[in-house]
Amino acid sequence: MTIADALRAATVHLAVASDTPRLDAELLMAHALGLTRNDLLLRQRDLTVPPAFAALLDRRRGGEPVAYITGTRDFWTIALDVTPDVLIPRPDSETLIEAALAHFADRAPATVLDLGTGSGALLLAALDQWPDARGLGVDASPGALAVARGNAVRLGLADRAAFQSGDWAQGVDGQFDLLLINPPYIASTAPLSGDVLSEPGSALFAGAEGLDDYRRIAPDLPRLIAPGGMAAIEIGYDQRASVSALLHDAGLAVRVLRDLAGHDRCLVATLA
């Protein structure tokens, strides 16, 4: 069987488990061959189907996310190692980096705080964007912190990125030019399906309304945001009003940015 034939068959095989079966098949084939997806597509006529490909397909058809199978995920300008200890970084979260770029259009943030850092995606993307910045990532999960530290080392950013165990902003002192925050925001009773079922619940669920962690984070933001700085906070598509109210109650000014799908995705909070 040629690579092209195998990809066509795999696309059919995966259609019952994925909304992107062709892309998944290509990513898994590339992983099995030790190539990038672009290299696979350019060289497929010269390649043969590796024995490991079938097992990878079975894992994906069983519901395991591609990122956990391959162990990697691209985010902004960087490639991250990911494991089941961390939420898989998503393009929607890049809206927070876009918000920061707009805010710091004429200068660069010197200090960055990432609350709930997970894989380190937001912090490390920011440090890659601004080469003179330094940052701190905080997470309550030892497994997530291990992944984030490993990503910092692999990306050559370990000298500018520190990580610590913590419960949101408790124990975090000082002020930061840029805060990046992607807390759990799914209501505990919300029905879920697909890849998210394999991801850590502690990074997803936040009480009956999905607001528990925002309620804990918002009061600390005024003391953490440096003059002229900002906090970029990810929200669910229907949480603009409720989270904005929490930020206003903390004395912050708020504006919203939408993601590429047109959904409210990021609240930018600044000192009023």
pLDDT tens-place string over residues 167-222: 999 999 999 999 999 999 999 889 888 888 899 998 999 999 999 999 999 999 99
Domain range summary for the chain, segments of one domain joined by +: 3-63, 83-271
- Other Cβ atoms less than 10 A from the Cβ of 194: the count is 11
Q: What is the pLDDT of residues 26-67, one digit of tens each?
A: 999 999 999 999 999 999 999 999 999 999 999 999 999 999
In this predicted structure, what is the pLDDT of residue 32?
Answer: 98
Q: Compute the mean pLDDT over every residue in the chain, rounded to the nearest whole number.
A: 96
Q: Where are the beta strands (DSSP E) in the chain?
A: 72-75, 78-81, 111-115, 134-139, 161-165, 176-181, 225-234, 252-258, 264-271
pTM for this prediction: 0.93
Question: Which residues, at least 6 apart from 176, have a Cβ–Cβ distance to it below 8 Å?
Answer: 109, 111, 112, 113, 136, 224, 225, 226, 229
pLDDT at 1: 87
Instruction: Give the pLDDT of residue 63.
Output: 93
3-state secondary structure at position 108 = coil
CA dihedral 218, 222, 226, 230 (to 10 degrees): 40
Compute how many other C-beta atoms are within 10 angstroms of the C-beta atom of residue 171: 10
Under DSSP, the state recorded for 227 is E
Looking at the chain, how many residues does it have? 272
Q: Considering the domain delimited by 3-63, tell me its CATH architecture.
A: Orthogonal Bundle (1.10)
Q: Say how many C-beta atoms besides its own lie within 10 A of residue 134's C-beta.
A: 16
DSSP state, 109? Answer: -
Q: What is the pLDDT of residues 108-148, one digit of tens each?
A: 999 999 999 999 999 999 999 999 999 999 999 999 999 99
The model's pLDDT over 58-93, given as tens digits with 9 standing for 90+, comes to: 999 999 999 999 999 999 999 999 999 999 999 999
Helices (H), 20-120: 21-33, 37-43, 53-61, 66-70, 94-103
Q: Between the CA of residue 212 and those of 4, 119, 186, 204, 219, what are the distances in Å?
A: 48, 22, 10, 11, 13
**Taking residues 256-269, what's their average pLDDT?**
96
**Whole-number pLDDT of residue 189:** 86
- pLDDT band at 239, cuts 50/70/90? very high
Tell me which architecture the domain covering 83-271 has in CATH.
3-Layer(aba) Sandwich (3.40)
Quick check: helix, strand or coil at residue 107? coil
